[in-house]
Amino acid sequence: MFSRWARALVVALFATSVYAQQKKSPPASTFFYDKTETQFSLSLASDSSDVYIHFASPAYSWVGVGFGEGMRDSLMLVMYLNADGDNVTVSPRYGHSHAEPELAPDIKLELLNGTGIQDEMFVLNALCKNCRVWPGGFLDATSTTQPMIFAFGPGTRLQLNHLDAPLRRHVRYGQFTMDLVAATSSEAGVPEPGNQLKGVDLKSIVKDHDRKNLAHAIMGCIALFVFWPINVVFAAFFRNIKIHVGMSFAILLFLVISFALGIATSPQYNRSKSYTSPHQILAFIALLPILLMSLLPIPKIKTLKPWIPRLHTHLANAVFLLLVLAGGLGLRLSSQANPIILAYVAVTLLVAVFSTFIILCVSRRGSAYARATTRRRLGEEDDRDYGLAKWGVRKKLSRSSEGSWEGESVGVGAQKGYGAQHGHERSASAGSDWKGVVGGGTMPGPQYLMNMHPGVPVYVK
């Protein structure tokens, strides 16, 4: 009887000992950021190159942690939702300067139990057998201040199974150091969840902004959706061509700035650094009609053929179409949310319909500037030219009660026309100014035959 109880006691003690060993937390160093409840812990095996990782963070579009002082020459682990949204995709990447990190295909992670989505948190339990050394850096197991970095992506949704999924720029990033001496032992294993800093010194947390990319989009939208329709109105209804030219220059200036900012931003992302995306290709194609529009006003070019000036409208329409298509593709390239893309499409349609309506309204009559230019070329009167000041009249004329034109110090003394034969004398003080002008009496002058304006002096070439 006694032996039976003794055997039971031994079994119970053995089971308790095994359970205690199983529950014993392996040595680890832990980073914990209380504002987001982000935890990153490392446990290193002293008798192998194994590195055990526990990483938990809120489900932003992506979250990442890296081994190194900065993005340059660092090894990063980036997490985001898989395509089904029920698990995580873990992407090991190499950092290169201040740009989107590239996939590290030689880094292999073994995902362990507990990895997935828990209470809207990304959770990673993993074993990495080749994370100690990478191009440009290594984990120093003898260091008590191993430099580390972390970052959070924006609050948009990213769901992909691809390990090289495009990442938007981080909204926050920081640095900390980790005691790897305390995290190294022969009993290494997956660290336990915790909410306390352990062997870690938090250095900095920075709120980030993607100002260049934002300015690139804003400058382009102002040029296309604000200045462009205003310029269409100026070109259609204003006879002063200088206003249209000035607004066109403003549009060109904003587009040049937008292009420059886009070129400066492109190297920061893997999907745009080679300049082969549809967004970039269409933007570069749009430079050709923009260049041709800039050359058309040159006198030696626009007078080569009669149809050359008419190319301006067609080139302008081509530029607008190419740039709005490039802008829409740019929103998709930068992983913008669908509501922003839909708003862009709505504004594009509104501006296109408005501009088309204005162009159709003036297509038959021509623009105000074109009509004024045609009248001056044909020698017809313009609304601004009553009084015929352009043709030599120095003082305002008035119609007398007898129907003749009277004016102080105005006349054609050297010219004896029809009016002089009927006693309407003119002083000779302005004779030189009236040379070549006929008509002006009570009877209609020659212009009557052209535009039914009786009694109007006509300049005879």
Q: How far apart are CA 49 and CA 128, in angstroms?
A: 8
Q: How far apart are CA 32 and CA 187, in angstroms?
A: 22
Q: How far apart are CA 55 and CA 30, in angstroms?
A: 10
Q: How far apart are CA 379 and CA 401, in angstroms?
A: 29
As given in the structure block, the two tokens for residue 145 are 């201040």
Q: How far apart are CA 34 and CA 67, in angstroms?
A: 21
As given in the structure block, the two tokens for residue 333 are 């390239």
Cα 375 to chain centroid, rounded: 44
As given in the structure block, the two tokens for residue 343 are 């708003």
Q: How far apart are CA 71 and CA 148, in angstroms?
A: 10
pLDDT at 283: 95
Q: What is the CATH number of domain 26-209?
A: 2.60.40.1210
Cα 265 to chain centroid, rounded: 10
Cβ contacts of 423-428, under 8 Å, gap ≥ 24: none
Q: How far apart are CA 363 and CA 356, in angstroms?
A: 10
Which residues are within 8 A (CB) of 250 and not within 5 positions of it... i.e. 6 or more apart?
227
Q: What is the mean pLDDT of each run of 10 residues along the chain (461 residues)?
A: 52 46 75 92 91 92 93 94 92 90 92 91 92 91 94 89 92 94 91 90 90 93 95 86 90 95 93 93 94 82 78 89 96 90 95 90 69 58 46 44 43 41 42 43 47 49 47
pLDDT at 236: 84
SS3 203: strand
- Token pair 């053995």: residue: 14
pLDDT at 365: 66
As given in the structure block, the two tokens for residue 395 are 């003082």
Helix 338-363 to helix 311-333 angle (10° resolution) is 170
